[in-house]
Structure 1
Amino acid sequence: MSRLFYLQVVQYDLYQTKANENRVMLVTEPPPRGLIYDRNGVVLADNRPIHSLTVIPERAASLPELKERLDKLIDISDEDWRNYERKLKEYRRPYQSITLKPQLTDKEWSKVSVDLYKLDGVQVEAQLTRYYPYGEAFAHAVGYVGRITAADLERVDRMAYQGALFIGKTGVENYYESTLFGKPGISKVEVNARGRIMSEIERQNPEPGKDLHLYMDARLQQYAYDLLGDYKGSVVAIDPNNGGVLAMVSKPGFDPNLFVRGISVDNYARLRDDKRLPLFNRALRGGYPPASTIKPFMGLAGLEHGFSSWTERYYARGFYQINPDGRRYRDWKRGGHGWIDLERSIIESVDTYYYQLAHKMGITPIHNFLSKFGYGSTSILDLNGASAGLLPSNEWKKSRYKEPWYPGDSVNVGIGQGFMVATPIQIATANAALAARGHMYYPRMVDAVNDQPATFEDNDGVEHKITLKDQRNWERMVKAMEKVITDDHGTGRRLQGTEYRIAGKTGTGQVFSLQDDEEYDASNLDKRLHDHALFIGFAPAEDPKIAVFAIFENGGSSAKPADLTKALFDAYLYDDYPERYDYFEEQAR
């Protein structure tokens, strides 16, 4: 009697609480994922209803019997069965359904529905799944979602993701996962001794994820992707007035819809083994020599550190030598350019001018100046996985090669070759900063979350001002880049004739080094050894609205990216795209 009194009265609160915990359980319901729109309201990542085949283990037949019955009705892959068996072992609640076939076709849905009464424990559930309407051109920028893995659960709230089907893996989908995911619903339910739900006591509905509105123009993105043709490469377009990424193309791409419900082994192997590397994000991680696109920045560096001036003239032979009997660093123009100044060196892209300038400067001033433009660092604010490239220095070479920095190393860096490596997003960022006359906005993808402007925790990292000793040098360099287009000897003169002014710079990135007595002959080289073709430009030059960097891998002539850039300028500035892109306007809200 004493023990009974102790348990029933003295310890009542304790055991009542424990009994309630055994009787009452919390069940989460995943929320609808937020949508992703372009700047004009075109849906780039949507939610679409699908029907999935699910099984409640405690009510279903044995696995061999279940498999025999279902295989007579519809085709269920071995991989789907393996995933089901794995989940069957992991799940601790046999009364909760497990997805067997993630997405049924209408025909499969009909077949299963007719025979559901014979299939104990089998049901067809309506679910929302992610869908990317425009496929591969947007895959690397928007990203994709995929099945949740054990590694994913380490970085999120496990309780919140209980029952969720997928999680952001790459691109905007990954970086803004917490924003897009929303808040799960919670139901307080009463369960019996076996853990089966008997009744719902209390319910809190899920809160949908927030919608993202990108700076990206879907038409510009698709147009740039198509203009690359059969070439591998990348195009990045930025609004120099705010850093918004208008287009970020990496080609080839892939169909992100393959990953949403779990990509098959065969499909993944096909993408993984493709020599064109469709899964590799060239815009963020592609390492290229910036080549002659670095020359406007080298020219400004020389002015800033007192190693050059606008009036000083230099006789440009067809080669440059550090020592009279030393190696000859050749100019692209074998016969040389004759007497030139800084402006003319930009217009005609004179290699020997920048060989001698870099030799005089040495690597430390070059490194310090170029780093202000984002070279050697990851500058994009809201995408993960960007490479820092390589902006070499004395310290780096000592650490990497256990060797000192040689004058010849500086000479190569002077024309954007040698050890220097940059990514398309870095070159595009530097180009946009030049277009804005030193007002550098770090690139960002998202403009607004729902109807509120996107913000970043560290606002000091959103933008900074690059100040020159003589601020007039910004305008003078832009004028020189305009003459790259307008001058009859300019390397970009093929773009003449526009109603607006273009400032630009061509570039040709060597894939391999030539010997002193060798000449570059593309016709005798394997395609993968052809030079990369690059171009940076912005327009209108006097008040830029768009800044573009384009690279054609192994494209040879810089005419290709120059023509692409002009086509993008025409389309964006005049809002005049080819008719085949009208479907984007039809999809805009």
Structure 2
Amino acid sequence: MQKKFAVKDTLAESRVFLSRVVAAFAFMFLLTLGLVVRLIYLQIVGHEHYAMLAKDNRIKIAPLPPTRGIIYDRHGRILAENLPSYSLELIPEQVKDLDDTLTRLQSLLDISDEQIEQFDKQRHRRKSFSSTPLLLRMSDEEVAKFAAVRPYFPGVDIQARLVRYYPYGELASHVVGYVGRINERELKSLPVSEYRGTNHIGKIGIEKTYEEYLHGTTGYAEIETNAQGRSVNSVDALDPVPGANLYLTLDIDLQKTAYDALGDYNGAAVAIEIDSGDVLVFASRPGFDPNPFVYGISRKAYKALQESDDQPLFNRALRGQYPPGSTMKPFIGLAGLEYNATDFQHKLFCPGYYQLPNVSHKYRDWKRWGHGWMDLKDAITQSCDVYFYDLALTLGIDNMHEFLDKFGFGRKSGIDLVGEQAGLLPSREWKRAKRNQPWYPGETLITGIGQGFTQVTPLQLARATATLANHGRIVTPYLVDRIIGTNYTIPGPAQSGEVIALKQRNIEDIVMAMVNVVHGARGTAKRIADGIDYQIAGKTGTAQVFSVKQEEKYNEEEIEFKLRDHALFIAIAPAHAPKIAVAVVVENGGHGGSVAAPIAGKIIKQYLGSNEGSPDEE
């Protein structure tokens, strides 16, 4: 049988091979082209971007926190400064047995469990090779103790830092405020770039209100790091800009006089320079030592402050709201003159009580047997309630509200401090909105003597008194006189120049009646007139803490101290060339003339005694 052989197709095989070679070369060309394009992009188009990423892997940006600005009083005395302090710090990764090290440090330096707890919170927020503070503000004795055993504590060292310090302690605590550690809520609202590396922020007072200026501008250092993120070398740096220094209008000597004069009483005193609006005194007693707040006050100490019956953390000058009592009478009297509801010749008989027509209820005078015949001057001098009951009824609540609103009652003063309370100036509309009740005539009567719903702050009272002394030119109080930064100076705010339209003769008559309160034979504050060659215009006030029933008698000696009346006093000095206005509120002080007035007298005498010549002679 004959065999058959297959014929090989050489031409077809060549074609297949050639097509495969072409395809391979085309694929290699495309790959090469893609690689070239990518190289061009990386080397030319994306060079800047990728170079930056590479640099970021090698260079770390470390913040350089600025030095906080200093706060001075009007005479250049330091109220808040930065002092060098030593702190004990640990680098966790260099400590082999952290628990044992902490235990030994506790026994050596008497470190509390609360401080250990705070250290644990801090170290978990940082890298293990970062230094974390354990004990802050070390005493010389503690520094010496640790220095002697330092070789036995690897990874533990002493570092020097600047710490905020308040040399006057409780004396200016409510004005200056304090700084404290930044909390989680604040961290969310703060600009990250400015507060990287900063652990503290102003919490209250000037420290909080002017935080933007006091903090300064954060600088940055470029640090070369290795693969583990440890610093190797400093490459470049942008120096931080220190915070601005603040010069306050406050006179710390006058502040001390006012604070000390309050003695064992709780209360507040505010003094304003009439021409400028400078706040000379802003005292709230009791105060507190702000220094422990800087690096974290202990829970026990903070709880004691919070639970104290005296409320030392409460700023009475800014936030305390009190019935103004008879200190409102000069303003009601001025309203009566302006609205022609009375005049200086009009007389009213005071039998010791007042009754509305066809009403049996008696609105009592503080003098149970009455004052007899009273005109406006006598009524202010002797603080006759009956006269002002009648005047209030004649004026009506609408006129009283309109007039008192012009002096800033019921509104914030605009002082450069956060947290101010507005007080309360009642009206028909207010009562209808808040209580869904109509306004009653009896409420008009007690509003006329500064009782009832009316609430004022000591700051409001001082501002209104300054505006009265300024013949209706509105005084806006402020605390920062100037801000001095590295390359700038910002002066304090100017007064608005806004004026309440008042008859000058009426103002003069009211001021003269207030002069009689201090210098008249029957004045309720005549004891503070001794030893001065100028005149003080003032008005005492007593504000009820609780209501006395119709037939009951108020006996100060038989009631609990916290239920006793508040004592108030407002003053202008010198009366005929006013320079200073003062308001004093003494909680449970009883009588404005015997308790509050002497405090204002000490402030005025010290302030005017520092000025050359007799102000009345100018």
Range into which the TM-score falls when normalised by the shorter chain: over 0.9
Structure 2 distance, partners of 1:118, 1:4, is: 59
Structure 1 residue ranges without an equivalent (≥5): 577-589
Aligned to 2:399: 365
Say if 2:99 is the partner of 1:64. yes
SS in 1 for 2:247: strand
TM-score normalized by the length of structure 2: 0.89
TM-score normalised by L of structure 1: 0.93
**Distance (whole Å) between structure 1 residues aligned to residue 192 and residue 89 of structure 2:** 22
Counterpart amino acid of residue 169 in structure 1: K
CA distance in 1, matches of 2:143, 2:529: 59
**Is 1:36 aligned to residue 67 of structure 2?**
no
Q: Which moved more, 1:367-376 or 1:500-509?
A: 367-376
Q: Please, which moves more after superposition, 20-29 or 558-567?
A: 20-29
- In the alignment, the residues of structure 2 paired with residue 368 and residue 23 of structure 1 have an alpha-carbon distance, to the nearest angstrom, of 69
Could you tell me whether the CA contact under 8 Å between 2:106 and 2:112 is conserved in 1? no
Q: What is the aligned counterpart of 2:353 among 309, 316, 319?
A: 319
Structure 2's unaligned 5+ residue stretches are 1-30, 612-618
Amino acid in structure 2 at the alignment position of 1:244: D
Specify the SS of the correspondent of 1:537.
strand
Structure 1 letter corresponding to 2:523: G
- Helix, strand or coil: the match of 1:339? strand
Partner residue in 1 for 2:509: 476
Match of 2:573 among 527, 539, 546: 539
Deviations along 1:252-286, one digit per CA (max 9) or x if unpaired, are 11111111111011111111111111111111111
Match in the other structure for 1:411: 445
- Greater Cα radius of gyration, structure 1 or 2: 2
Q: For residue 19 of structure 1, what is the aligned residue in structure 2? A: 54
In 1, the alpha carbon distance for the partners of 2:58 and 2:388 equals: 78
Amino acid at match of 1:391: L
Deviation at 1:127, TM superposition (A): 0.6
**Cα distance in 1 between the residues matched to 2:524 and 2:105:** 66
For 1:59 and 1:72, the matched residues in 2 are separated by 21
**Of 315, 320, 342, which residue of structure 2 is paired with 1:281?**
315
C-alpha deviation, 1:362, in angstroms? 2.1
Residue 308 of structure 1 deviates from its aligned partner by 1.9
* 1:381 and 1:462 in contact (8 A); partners too: no
| Post-superposition offset of 1:6 | 4.5
Percent identical among aligned pairs is 44
- 2:193 partner SS: coil
Counterpart position of 1:567: 602
Listed as ranges, the matches of 1:103-502 within 5 Å are 103-450=137-484, 452-456=489-493, 462=496, 464-468=498-502, 470-497=503-530, 498-502=532-536
Per-residue Cα deviation, 1:479-513 (whole angstroms, up to 9, x for no partner) = 11111122212212222342111000000111111
Alpha carbons of structure 1 residues 455 and 248: separation in structure 2 relative to 1, 3 Å: closer
Q: CA deviation at 1:463?
A: 5.2
Is the Cα–Cα contact under 8 Å of residues 470 and 578 in structure 2 kept in the other structure?
yes
Worse-superposed segment, 113-122 or 563-572:
113-122
CA distance in 1, matches of 2:212, 2:470: 33
Aligned residue number for residue 587 of structure 1: none
The aligned amino acid for 1:541 is A
| In 1: Cα distance, 2:596 partner to 2:490 partner | 33
- Corresponding residue to 1:10 among 34, 38, 41: 41
Offset of residue 393 of structure 1: 1.3
Higher relative CO (Cα under 8 Å, sequence separation at least 6) belongs to: 1
**1:350-371 CA deviation, whole Å, 9 max, x = no partner?**
1111111212222222112111
Alignment RMSD, CA only?
A: 1.8
CA shift at 1:4, angstroms? 4.9
Distance in 2, matches of 1:435 and 1:59, equals 68
Instruction: Name the structure 2 match of 1:582.
Output: none
> Structure 2 CA distance, aligned partners of 1:477 and 1:325?
32
Which region of structure 1 is more displaced relative to structure 2, 66-75 or 426-435? 66-75
Q: 1:68-83 residue pairs with structure 2 within 5 A?
A: 68-83=103-118
How many aligned residue pairs are there? 571
State the 4+ residue runs in structure 1 displaced beyond 6 angstroms: none
Q: CA deviation at 1:206?
A: 1.6
Q: Residues of 1 paired with 2:200 and 2:51: CA distance?
A: 38
Shift of 1:378: 1.3
Aligned 8 A contact 1:503 1:539 in 2: yes
Q: In 2, distance between residues paired with 1:363 and 1:420?
A: 12
